[in-house]
Structure formats: C-alpha cells, structure tokens
Structure 1
Amino acid sequence: MAAPGYDPDFLGVPLPVPELGPGPEADAVRLDGSTRVDYTHFSLALSASRRFAYWVAWNVDGGGLRKLARTGIPFVKDPRLPEAAQVGDEVYQGNRLDRGHLARRADLLWGTEAEAKRANRDSFYFTNITPQVDDFNQSVRAGLWGRLEDALYADVEVDRLRVSVFGGPVLGDDDRAYRGVLLPREFWKVIASVQAGALKASAFVLTQSLNRLESLDFAEFRVYQVPLAELEPRLALGFPPALVAADTAAPVAAGLDERPPLDSADDISWS
C-alpha cells in the first residue's frame, strides 16, 4: 500500500508543500516523475547533489499520538530511490556523528496502530536523516529546538490539536566537507496551526555556528525565530502564500548574528 504522505488539507486550510526554486528543481531526485517522495504522515524532496532533503513536510495529530519503541528499527536507504543519492552509514562509522531525524519520530506516531508502526519505521529512512555531532544531537533533543512542537501545544490553544510542520537542513555551499559529504550546520523549521479559526505560522532557524567550522567540534547551538519570508531566498524555496501571510514574526533588519537568540519557549511569538 502506498504511503499517504503529507496531507496539505490537514488543518482545513490548503497548505501545499514548498515549491522548489530553479536550482533545487533541477537537482531534485525524482520518483515516478515527481520531486515529492511520500512516507507515512510525511513527505520530502531530496537533493541529488547533497543527498539530503531540501524540505520535509509532516502532519502531527497531537490528540492521537502513540508511544512506540524505536528499538530494533534499522536506518536504511529507501529502495525506491537511487542508492547513490542517499547518504548512508558510511559517514557515521567510527566518529561522533549521530543520525538525526528531520521529521521528528515522535510527531509521526499517530493514527491507527498499524499507521503509527509504519510511520515509526518510515522515519528511519536515511532520506529523513542528517548528520549531527553526538553532543549537539543530544542537546537538540533535550533543548528548545527539540521541544518546539510541544511548546506550541503548551502555550496556545490549537484547534483540534493539529499541527503541520515543514523543516530541513540549510544546504550551504560552504558547509564543511567530511568523507565526501558536506555537513549542514544550520536547520530550519516552520510550524503551522489554526488558533481560534485563524491560521498561524512560526518560523525558526537553528545554527551551530555562523562561522566556518574547522573541525567536527560544533559550537553551542542557538535558535532564532525569523520572518518566514526571510527563509525563502535563503533556502531557494517558495512557501504557500497563505503560510507567509500567517507569519507571527515581526520583520527585522538585523542578521542572525545581530539579533538575540531564543532563550526559552517564553520568547516565542506563536500568534
């Protein structure tokens, strides 16, 4: 059975997946002629040259989440896609690199038990994974970045407890090369919800360092809330106009290194 993938109508407001710019469109891996690759509760577009996702889009049913173990599920390449277009275990062996999920595994475990189990397995495809230094990855899971969706549920009343999320790595030309792979140092996420009948969207960037890394030691990471329109040229992606219009961040003139990072969930503007 084909995986249903990301549902653009999940919130009752049409939110299609991001549109690839000319460069990413030409570079994206295709499956049955489409740049969109579907899995259970999430979809993505994969860069053939970088071998990581340009974007991942997923739906979260906060009222139907299940707790399932991750033990015994292997990280594997998606057999539907060219093996050479996917970074696999070769970059993770014998070092401090972790396999970091883009679509958060816990977000995907909803629906029927069978659906949740499929989503659990699907989340371990390497197409949904990026390398992260172990200390960094552990901090991400325990820190603000890993708790963004949870913070939204805690801070505002979300209609039907449903959220749609877009995210991925920032694929920079100056990312550090390691074993023939350019390691992303920045990540982005856009969280969309309906609050009192109105669509709201909040965009974030996580950066480990704004300077070029000279080793595999990553600086302390920082999380920033950014205007959604600021992400589009940075990523060469186009977001749905309804999503951009629903942005909760005020426009800012300063660059990331000139504005304060988020210290806690209390600093986030959700509405």
Structure 2
Amino acid sequence: MSAPTGSGFDPAFLPFTVALPTPYAAIADDLAEPSTGGTVLDYMHFSLVMSRSRRLARWVAWNIDGSTRFSDISRDGQKFRADPRLPVSGQVLNDVYDRNRLDRGHLARRADLLWGTRAAAERANSDSFFFTNITPQMDDFNQAARDGVWGQIEIALLEVVDRQRASVIAGPVLQPDDPDYRDVQVPLEFWKLLAYEIDGKPRVRIFLVTQTLQPGVLPDPLAPFEVFAITAAELSRRTQLSLSRSLRAKVVGEPSFAGELSGDLDQRRPVTDVAAIRW
C-alpha cells in the first residue's frame, strides 16, 4: 500500500499565519510517531497528528480554496484504509463500525479538500479516506453533520468570503471518561476552528458540537446535537492544545489572555442557524 504524498496543510495559505496547535506537556508524549519521522502526517491539502493511546487524531488541519473547488468528484469506489506510515494497531479500523449505528466520520470534510488542479483534488479525495482522518460518530450525528449547522459552517463561511480561501483546524475532544465501545473510547465532542479574512481583516471563529451515545451504542432516540461558538481559552482547556497568541488575538469574541486557564472565561454561545453567525 502506497503512502500519501501530499504536501499537507499550509500555515501561510492566508495573508496571515495560521499556526498549528501546540500540545500541552500532559499529552505531548502521547503523540504517535510515524515511520517518516516527527509527529505530523501530511496528505493532499491537509495534515494531522494522532493520539497513540486513543488511536484517533488529536487535530486535523486543512486549507480550502473555494474558487477552484470541484463539485463533480465522487466518493464512489473509495475505500477506508489504514495509513502505512503508522502501525495498523495504532489506528481505529473497521471493527468498531460493524453492525451498529456508528459511522466513519470524516474530520477534514471530503468536499472541502477537492480544489486546486484536477489531479490534486482527486488525490485529496482519496487521502480523505485514510482512517487517520476518521472518528466514530453516531449516524444521527453524521446526518446532522451533512444537513445541520455543523456541516454547513464551512459552506456558510465560503459564501460570506465570496468563496475564496479559508483554513480550518478541527478534531475530537478526547476525554478520559469518553464511553468505551469494542475497546475504543468514542469521543462525545468535536471542535472546529475557522480562519479567514473579511474586508482585509483576519478573523477566527471556534465552534464545538456534542454527540450523545446510549450505553452499548443502542438504537434509541438521541438527544439533539448542540453547536456552540466558544473561545480559544475553552478550546485549550478541553483539548490540552495551545493556539498561538497571534491566532487567539483574532478569535471573534475572545475576552482576553489574562487568566486563560481560569474557569470564568467560558462564553459559550449556542448556534442554531448558520445565518445567525456573526462572521
């Protein structure tokens, strides 16, 4: 099996730098080390780092060029597969998804990656199906991601910025008390950071979504999926990932840097309609 050959996420894709997150010391030793060295795995138009203990991505970062994006590249014929740069045992594979309601949920959205030359877009389409870019998500959540607020966030953003460029960093919130299922701890929350420009001004928004699992992944009705706009301070506390000071300064609604690790800076704002987002 051939390894991906893309150049990965470009921090300089926008007029301002979108630096990748830095892990806190508490999780730095848990980052998986691919055979190619370092901790970052590069693909076409996106990059990621993996948690060794959880076998899931800590974060995935990708660039979007709305002006060159293809809409006619299909997922037909694509297969989910392990990345050969990591041990198979270090990735969550098909066993957890068999005969239940768990879907293989993309972190970097396939549709976001289909830009550039036709060849690059087709390579990105294929790369998006590596299990390193996948997390277990309830089917209701995955449906919500396609048709609800969570899945519409990037689309709404590209409409606001006239379908030009944006950079996104996202991932699961890996908590020690996430529920176990078939030897896999299934994340209940996911986050997404969007960086972009409006009228020449750099801006950043951060969102959080929750999914609810029944014990044993039972097919009972689930609680509604909730999406919130959050601050960089809350993101860092929940994920143990630090954003650069420059990036934090651009977060819409970020209160301050002072007392960042205190509990009084959480300013969650429910998002029920993408049209209500103040970009």
| Residue in 2 that maps onto 1:243 | 247
Q: Which residue type is aligned with residue 273 of structure 2?
A: S
SS in 1 for 2:146: helix
SS in 2 for 1:63: helix
SS in 2 for 1:173: coil
Give, in angstroms, the shift of residue 215 of structure 1: 4.4
| Residue in 2 that maps onto 1:114 | 119
Give, in angstroms, the shift of residue 90 of structure 1: 0.7
- Structure 2: which 5+ runs fail to align? 256-262
2 CA distance for matches of 1:248 and 1:22? 27
Paired residues, what number?
A: 264
Cα displacement string for residues 17-43 of structure 1 (whole angstroms, at most 9, x for unaligned residues): 111111321011112331111000000
SS in 1 for 2:126: helix
1:269 equivalent in alignment to 2:278: yes
1 CA distance for matches of 2:102 and 2:84? 24
| TM-score computed with the length of structure 2 as normaliser | 0.89
Give, in angstroms, the shift of residue 95 of structure 1: 1.0
8 Å Cα contact 1:176/1:213 also seen in 2: no
| Residue in 1 that maps onto 2:168 | 165
2 CA distance for matches of 1:55 and 1:27? 13
| Residue in 1 that maps onto 2:22 | 19
Give, in angstroms, the shift of residue 213 of structure 1: 4.8
| Residue in 1 that maps onto 2:203 | 200
1:103-252 to 2 correspondences below 5 Å: 103-154=108-159, 156-157=160-161, 161-209=164-212, 213-216=214-217, 217=220, 218-251=222-255
| Residue in 1 that maps onto 2:98 | 93
1 CA distance for matches of 2:101 and 2:83? 24
SS in 1 for 2:67: coil
- Structure 1: which 5+ runs fail to align? none
- Note closer, same or farther for the CA distance 1:254–1:198 as it changes in structure 2 (3 Å cut): closer
1 CA distance for matches of 2:62 and 2:269? 29
1 CA distance for matches of 2:187 and 2:165? 29
Percent of aligned pairs sharing the same letter: 47
Q: Which residue type is aligned with residue 147 of structure 1?
A: Q
Give, in angstroms, the shift of residue 15 of structure 1: 1.6
8 Å Cα contact 2:138/2:211 also seen in 1: no
8 Å Cα contact 1:75/1:124 also seen in 2: yes
1:19-98 to 2 correspondences below 5 Å: 19-31=22-34, 32-67=36-71, 68-98=73-103
SS in 1 for 2:15: coil
SS in 1 for 2:69: coil
SS in 1 for 2:29: helix
8 Å Cα contact 1:76/1:125 also seen in 2: yes
2 CA distance for matches of 1:173 and 1:77? 25
- Note closer, same or farther for the CA distance 1:54–1:249 as it changes in structure 2 (3 Å cut): same
Q: Which residue type is aligned with residue 24 of structure 2?
A: G
SS in 2 for 1:40: coil
- Note closer, same or farther for the CA distance 1:194–1:254 as it changes in structure 2 (3 Å cut): closer
8 Å Cα contact 1:202/1:269 also seen in 2: no
